[in-house]
Amino acid sequence: MVADHVDLVLEQWATQRPDLDVFPMAVIGRLKRLAPLIGAELGRTFNAHGLDAASFDVLATLRRSAPPHQLTPTELMRTSMVTSGAITQRLDRLQARGLVTRTPNESDGRGVHVALTDAGRTLINAALPDHVDTEKRLLAALTTAQRDALADILRTLLESLGDTTEQTHSRTSPDQVHDTTGTRDPA
């Protein structure tokens, strides 16, 4: 079996501190090493489409929502991987590029709706297959059974740490997300 960097670290700890069970490092260390490797590969794909990870995520979140592919900033933040602090800035950039629009919420004048433009839909429709192909390539060393098992294991770990659908929806109150005018988005 080929050893990776984490195997070396574990071997060194076994020699220097045989009294410690450092097995958690076998998992956490590998997750930490994978994150930047995966991020760099995904970044190359996003860059080929003139996007970064956060912009891709906003466009993809809008695209996978039901027609008319429109959400409030709060809904976007809750269903994407973009943090509340980054959402307004990200939306400003996407709107400046003509990829999204922000229109007043007719049912509540304080909030806004964010929607894909035709250009935004075209861009995400072009980028998404390349993104999926990159992810498939990154997982190519695993069998289908291994990928399924890994997905299940990671889901269990995320749930155990509180990253659940219910937690995602309750983490941010509407008062914490603002549109570009600085008013509350009541979602």
Q: Identify the H or E element spanning 121.
A: helix 118-138
> What tens digit of pLDDT does each residue of 99-136 get?
999 999 887 767 899 999 999 999 999 999 999 999 99
* Beta carbons within 8 Å of 119's beta carbon, 6+ residues apart: 97, 98, 99
pLDDT at 87: 85
**Residue 182 pLDDT greater than 60, yes or no:** no
Q: What is the pLDDT of residue 178?
A: 34
Q: How far apart are CA 99 and CA 86, in angstroms?
A: 17
**Residue 153 in this model has a pLDDT that exceeds 80:** yes
Task: Check whether 64 has a pLDDT greater than 90.
Answer: yes
Dist. CA 106–CA 121, nearest whole Å = 23
Q: What is the pLDDT of residue 99?
A: 98
For residue 1, what pLDDT is reported?
62
Task: Say what the pLDDT of residue 16 is.
Answer: 97
